[in-house]
Amino acid sequence: MNLLPVQRAGELSLEGPQTQWLIEDLWGEQAVGILGGEPKCCKSFLALDIAVSVASKTKCLRHFPVRRQGTVLLFPAEDSLAIVRQRLEGICAAARISLGSLPIEVITAPALRLDKESDRQLLSNTVQSLRPILLILDPLIRLHRLDENDASQVAGLLSFLRHLQREFQLAVLLVHHARKGSNSSRPGQALRGSSELHGWGDSNLYMRRRGQQLTLSTEHRAAASRDHIPLELAEDRERSALSLSLVDPEQIGQSPPAPASQKSPAERICNALAQSDHPVTLQELRKLCAMRTASLCSALAELCEEGIVIKQSRGYRLQEGASAPDPVSLSLPIQTPGNGNGKHES
């Protein structure tokens, strides 16, 4: 009779990836996970900074120590190879090291489809040959033609990457987009597609932009998380190089300053519609604006009456050339969170 291997709990090893760091406080040893954020939040810059730090064993973002040095395998699916080279040079300049000798191997194939068995085998063979300790795939949307909202389809792709991690004892970092206008959501819940993506990660990183301020949050399966790490994209004019850096290490863990004033429901709705290139349903608007249905419907009714928003069969859209009205021009009710008596406060 065949049996599965078992071991008494008290005899299990205390050493393992879940208790060790590849990059202290940022990424676990042999961890899989997501580097997420809205477009233009410098996700790729951070992924490349991680690649340089692991390949050189220099501090990531000039702050977070690297515990193990090794080869990094990178597939930049969106940026040209020339741009990738320029960005890596800029990061190396900030770290005061040379790119030439670093073991960063870049996959130069024009496409890689991880929903195709042939491409999965190519990636597995490449990993087996190079033996990297970190695989970076940027971004997820360019790696497949699956329905990212279908948990069963997404789970298959993530299972392959988890198998790759276990077979070759490497870390896997997957760059992925968050929904536009998702700053009001918890970072992990703001990721596009199935919740399988959030649950898959051992270490997850989230980039957010609040006005001109970039912030980084961390999330780990077996370690404490950190929020609101302030970053900036700094330029070295002498070298014409760009790199991410911490604004002030002492601010790590502190909440960002509150906005000067809360946006009105009308402003929140108009901003959400302005960022969409297609009509937005009521359910989608409710999530994007983080508003209760009653407040949202009331605000939409007045915006439609004013001709600022147009209701169509597929949802709502902003009238061409329209913008959010002056807050005092509409008396739109704001429903206070936790007010269960049905009354509104303006």
For residues 203 and 63, is the Cβ–Cβ distance under 8 A? no
SS3 state at 330: coil
Q: Give this prediction's pTM.
A: 0.70
Given a contact cutoff of 8 angstroms between Cβ atoms, the answer to whether 232 and 266 are in contact is no
DSSP state of 57: T
Structural tokens at position 54: 């692991």
208-259 pLDDT, tens per residue? 988 778 999 999 998 999 988 999 998 877 666 899 999 876 656 555 444 4
List the one residue out of 334, 343, 345, 331 whose CA is nearest residue 292: 334
| Residue 8 to residues 11, 12, 16, Cα–Cα distance (Å) | 5, 7, 17
Q: Two tokens at 199?
A: 């649950």
Average pLDDT for residues 276-286, to the nearest whole number? 87
Amino acid identity, residue 51? A
Res 47: pLDDT: 98
pLDDT (average), residues 47-54: 98
More confident residue, 86 or 344: 86
pLDDT band at 288 (very low <50, low <70, confident <90, very high): confident
Residues in the chain: 346
Q: Are 197 and 34 in contact (CB under 8 A)?
A: yes
Task: Name all domains of the chain by residue range, CATH numbers in brackets.
Answer: 16-251 (3.40.50.300), 265-318 (1.10.10.10)
Residue-level pLDDT at 16: 59
Bond into 17 cis (ω within 30): no
What pLDDT, in 10s, does the model give residues 111-137? 999 999 999 999 999 999 999 999 999
d(CA 309, CA 322): 8
